[in-house]
Structure 1
Amino acid sequence: MKSITQNYIYNFIYQIVVLLIPIFLSPYLAQTLGPKNLGIYGYIYSVCNIISTISLIGSYNFGIRQIAYYRDNIKQFTSFFWELFWLRLILGCISLIIYFTIAYISDYFIYFILFSGWLIASIIDTSWLFIGMEDMKPTILKNFLVKISSIILIFLAVKQEEDLYIYILIMSMTMFISTSILLFQIKKYIKKITLTLKNQILHIKGSIMLFLPQVAILLYLQIGKILIETITHDIKQVAFYDMGEKIITIPLTFITVLSTVMMPRIANNYINNNKNSIKILLEKAGQISLMFAIPMCFGIAICAHNLIPWYLGIDFSPSISAIIIMSPIIIANSLIGISGNQYFTATNQIKILTYSYFSALIVNIILNYTLIKNMGFIGAAYTTTVTSFTSLIIQYYFFNKQLEIKPYLYYILKYIILSIPMGSSILIYGMYSSPTYITTLIQIIGGAFIYISSLLFIKDSLFIELSKRFTQKINIRIK
């Protein structure tokens, strides 16, 4: 449990940085580049992300799980690493061919070329090794380097709408450089070894099993932006949806970091047949996720009206509706993180994941085509929310057959009740306040104070435990 706590605290601190950076960066980009340019970036990023995920066929999550399985056998996991690494390079070359072909026929050719460094970085990324070994430091330092260096360069170099190409190049190259640095740190665990074609073919089969649910997830998350541009031919609507989604993603990333930390541990317990340990780990992870997800869902939906006008500017006011509509996915995706990313992936129940995500994808495509025609990006926002809950319901239907969901239902009810006083207070305050950063700051601080006070009032054991461990870790670092 020590490494889980340590890794979670590392990730917790990193996610605070991730949480703070967009607070300063998003309004600057919104006012400097404007809706049209941010729509172009969102579109290119979605296309690149889809190509990367499809071409690498789920090898990232497969790598994390297999490293967690093999980590007690140095020879076996070292051999596996090199086999999968070279397989990713081969598949990556195919993805680059597809990417440059799409770039050639696109209206945004130059921007696609400038962003190609991001795709190359995803190909040579070795963070799956460190995550599988439950060594989060290198990955966190890599991500931290990307975030800090990119924000500094953006503030220094991006000054006007014509600087979109600079912004894209910064986002591309900071990712490429930091991933390259991480590549040189693999010698901590890995030695040179002979490869066999037979094993690489087996890894393709294993990766494809994880690839199917992963590509379904990516498609129903990213296809909305592509369909908005395709159906409406209005790149600004992509920006309205994209910025709303990014604001929702801030707390969601903060919460779902637990899946990254827990999955290797659950996989290791599974391979060693420690079923009771898996149940305990999942329940604690579920409680932690819901303890944060539910108040954040309330808070972000309520604060949106006062947040967007000063945060992104009046031009992005349409994003308010997208944020409110999509806010429930914070809760849905935090629960999916428990069932899908942690349990079903770690225990190799990929058929259930594939069924749930492809069912959700079918719902997504049907609703997107229907709603975007009539409602534009608002239709895509509704579709995203419905899709997330479709996947959630299917997964927990099967999850309940293996592990009880009663504890999770109890936590949902508990933290909803505790969030109501907080939500009511900041809603009333926001209704009688101007949309300024002071209003939002008071809503955030006041809401957090009320919610934490509620947790302390009922003496929530998990919150008290996490607070003590976090304090102890900080004290040790200071000393």
Structure 2
Amino acid sequence: MLATLFDISWFYYGIEDFKIISLINFIIKIISFLCILFFIKNTDDLWLYFLIQSISILISNISLWLFLKKYIRWIRPSIKKSLKHFKPALKYFIGKISISLYTNLNKTLLGILVSSIAVGLYSSSLQLITIFVTLIGTMDTVLMPHMTKLFSNNNYKKMIQTMEKTIDLQFFMSVPLMFGILAINRQMIPWFFGSDFMLLNKTVPIFSPLVIIMPLGISIVRQYLIPRNRIREFNISVIISAIISVLLNILLLPVLGIYGSIISTLIAECVVTLIRLVDLKKHTDFQFNVRNIIFYFLCSLIMYFIVLFFTKHMPSEIFTTILQGILGIFVYFILTAIFKVNVVIKLKNKEW
């Protein structure tokens, strides 16, 4: 909570200065990762793990204040002028509360109606997926201030063209990631999570479509709804999804256990993305590159079977996972190049 008080990353996002944020976060995360490796020895060190995590966030946020001097002039703030931002900020707050409701209440209900073990399995499955979702979503964070600038300059056509390209790039990455998770899951879970988490071999594949669904919904928010100040539409999508998620959890958890919570999460995320997509299509001339997306799925499916064929008898260890990842990237890159849908090559040749 103290770290959040000092968080001014939004300022650097607004002025499109991502170098400072990226550099500080990279350094702090490396240091915290090394601290975890050196100081966390057993379950008794859980408090120390929490301490390292929270202090690293606090230091990261405070560090950003050191670079403010060259950007702003310090003045005494007026309470009256500050309060005028309260109402617009409250609109964002409603959406954030709704997101917290349907993402965190799942775990609470799962713990109450099933068990704390189920909460651990559910959280670990979702956390693995979230890593890849965050990786893909980084592009949207960078683009949000740029899209806002385009909107303020009434350059709607350029705005939509940028969205079409970035979402196509997103599919280029998210589709093979989904199939990649399916390919490496069986051999990665034992060495990465341990023998107590073997059920993840069943839960992670069910969660894997979220790698495609969630980034798409996030992109629409960050590149379209927020830059165009359509906060009402954003709030409607998350409130409806929150209601659906809670109701489905109450209905499915007693019958299906952890799988009921997984199904509820999948449906809620599909609904929130669908609502945003309908709004986007209704008010703009946005178009998906359907041909490219079909080939992304085709190439990813072929990649999946090739990785599975060559590595299915290999042991569960980090070397196997690394080899599977390298093989998958190589096969996918070659196949998309053959079908002439490789975005990386197009960027290099300035064709995209």
TM-score, L = length of structure 2: 0.93
> Following superposition of structure 1 onto structure 2, how do residues 118-157 of structure 1 map, counting pairs within 5 Å?
119-157=1-39
Q: 1:462 aligns with which of 335, 343, 347?
A: 343
Q: Does 1:212 align with 2:94?
A: yes
| Pairwise CA distance, 1:439 | 3.1
Structure 1 gaps of 5+ residues are: 1-118, 470-479
Q: Look up the match of 1:330.
A: 211
**Contact 2:147-2:227 at 8 Å conserved across structures:** yes
Q: 1:231 aligns with which of 108, 113, 116?
A: 113
| Pairwise CA distance, 1:467 | 4.8
**Contact 1:298-1:419 at 8 Å conserved across structures:** yes
AA of the residue aligned to 2:317: T
Q: In structure 2, do the counterparts of structure 1 residues 145 and 373 end up closer, same or farther at CA, with 3 Å as the change threshold? A: farther
AA of the residue aligned to 1:121: A
Q: In structure 2, do the counterparts of structure 1 residues 327 and 200 end up closer, same or farther at CA, with 3 Å as the change threshold? A: same
Distance (Å, rounded) in 2 between the aligned partners of 1:412 and 1:161: 45
Q: Does 1:176 align with 2:58?
A: yes
Q: 2:256 aligns with which of 363, 375, 382?
A: 375
Distance (Å, rounded) in 1 between the aligned partners of 2:79 and 2:292: 48
Q: Look up the match of 1:29.
A: none
Q: Look up the match of 1:286.
A: 167
AA of the residue aligned to 1:124: F
| Pairwise CA distance, 1:328 | 0.5
Q: Look up the match of 2:300.
A: 419
**Contact 1:213-1:353 at 8 Å conserved across structures:** yes
Q: Does 1:363 align with 2:239?
A: no
Q: Look up the match of 1:275.
A: 156
Distance (Å, rounded) in 2 between the aligned partners of 1:416 and 1:403: 26
| Pairwise CA distance, 1:407 | 2.1
Q: Secondary structure at the match of 1:407?
A: coil
**Contact 1:244-1:320 at 8 Å conserved across structures:** no
Distance (Å, rounded) in 2 between the aligned partners of 1:188 and 1:209: 31
Distance (Å, rounded) in 1 between the aligned partners of 2:64 and 2:29: 15
Q: Look up the match of 2:181.
A: 300
Q: Secondary structure at the match of 1:191?
A: coil
Note the alpha carbon deviations across 1:80-133, whole angstroms, 9 max, x for none. Answer: xxxxxxxxxxxxxxxxxxxxxxxxxxxxxxxxxxxxxxx211121010000111
AA of the residue aligned to 1:146: I
Q: Secondary structure at the match of 2:73?
A: coil
Q: In structure 2, do the counterparts of structure 1 residues 169 and 468 end up closer, same or farther at CA, with 3 Å as the change threshold? A: farther
Q: How many residues align structurally?
A: 350
Q: In structure 2, do the counterparts of structure 1 residues 385 and 261 end up closer, same or farther at CA, with 3 Å as the change threshold? A: same
> Following superposition of structure 1 onto structure 2, how do residues 376-395 of structure 1 map, counting pairs within 5 Å?
376-395=257-276
Distance (Å, rounded) in 2 between the aligned partners of 1:411 and 1:394: 23
Q: In structure 2, do the counterparts of structure 1 residues 125 and 468 end up closer, same or farther at CA, with 3 Å as the change threshold? A: farther
TM-score, L = length of structure 1: 0.70
**Contact 1:290-1:334 at 8 Å conserved across structures:** no
Distance (Å, rounded) in 2 between the aligned partners of 1:358 and 1:412: 30
AA of the residue aligned to 1:448: I
| Pairwise CA distance, 1:408 | 4.5
| Pairwise CA distance, 1:309 | 1.2
Distance (Å, rounded) in 2 between the aligned partners of 1:307 and 1:383: 26
Q: In structure 2, do the counterparts of structure 1 residues 156 and 437 end up closer, same or farther at CA, with 3 Å as the change threshold? A: closer
Q: Secondary structure at the match of 2:74?
A: coil
Note the alpha carbon deviations across 1:262-282, whole angstroms, 9 max, x for none. Answer: 110000111111111101111
Distance (Å, rounded) in 2 between the aligned partners of 1:123 and 1:376: 38
Q: Secondary structure at the match of 2:316?
A: coil
Q: Look up the match of 2:198.
A: 317
Structure 2 gaps of 5+ residues are: none
Q: In structure 2, do the counterparts of structure 1 residues 369 and 408 end up closer, same or farther at CA, with 3 Å as the change threshold? A: farther
Q: Secondary structure at the match of 2:226?
A: helix
| Pairwise CA distance, 1:431 | 4.0
**Contact 2:241-2:271 at 8 Å conserved across structures:** yes
Note the alpha carbon deviations across 1:345-379, whole angstroms, 9 max, x for none. Answer: 11111111111111111111011222222333332
Q: Look up the match of 1:9.
A: none
Task: Please give the root-mean-square deviation of Cα atoms over the aligned residues, in Å.
Answer: 1.9
Percentage of matched positions with identical amino acids: 28
Distance (Å, rounded) in 1 between the aligned partners of 2:285 and 2:313: 44
**Contact 1:306-1:430 at 8 Å conserved across structures:** no
Write 1 or 2 for the structure with the bigger share of helix.
Answer: 1
**Contact 1:360-1:391 at 8 Å conserved across structures:** yes
Q: Secondary structure at the match of 1:187?
A: coil
AA of the residue aligned to 2:31: S
